[in-house]
Structure 1
Amino acid sequence: MDSTVDDYHHYFRMLLNHGMHGTQRILSRRAVELMTTNRLTPEQLAAREAWGRNAVHLAYGLGQHGGWGFGMAVRTYRSDYAPVGQFGWDGGSGTTTYADPHNQLVGILLTQTGMSTPDSARANLDFWTTLYQAIDD
């Protein structure tokens, strides 16, 4: 893995491990909980969802997963394969990085293509669809 992917992987693994990196505590359990659970009020969620519907032509549907923790998106409803509780973010340069506590999964796609066309968003959506379809229960 290149160092950026490796850094993302270690970061998300640490969050999935409740703030532990190996045997070393980096963040408290409470800090991880605040980061990875929705902190928006019902009014803020409604406003965010309305904005997302109005701006879908700009983001091509990415980032439409509900709430926000401290520093990242948090899935509050299921609209595709990813379960509620998934956390991470989609970047404006065509990146997507999320962790899924339910499946103990980290997914990282760093395309650097920008989000100037629907193709970049489709690549991100295809990445997640393929990743979740590959899980063998």
Structure 2
Amino acid sequence: MLELEISKAKMIEIKITTDNALRLLMERMKFELSLRQKSGMIKHGMHLDELSFSETMRLVESSVFDTIFLLPVKIITSQTNLVSIIASTVRALSRVLHKEEFLLFSDRQSRNLIEPIRKFLIRETRANNFFKN
């Protein structure tokens, strides 16, 4: 399902189909939806395709954020194709959830989701290496 390939340029290429990435994202979104329904943020009984675009986008962003944290630190902090995978996966939501607005999701928006996590992990890794010396 997920395969890694390291090129000579030290870029880690994550090999996952958009359909598999979409399945992962949808599962995480359903989990996030159930959490928000339990906390009263979203009405019980609502389905993903019944939410407004802005509500759905908030679910997407938190689901992507959570999924990124499940990846190995090496993948997050290295040069990878993660930005394009996330962008194409979110765009694919347009056909599943029937919301054309997802087609406008850009690599820049994807990068904006990843960068804070990447910078945090790089900073923490350096700090931990300092303490170990």
The alignment's TM-score, normalised by the length of structure 2, stands at: 0.28
Relative to its length, the structure with more helix (as a share) is: 2
Pair member with larger Rg: 2
RCO higher in 1 or 2 (8 Å CA, sep ≥ 6)? 2
Scaled by the length of structure 1, what TM-score is found? 0.28
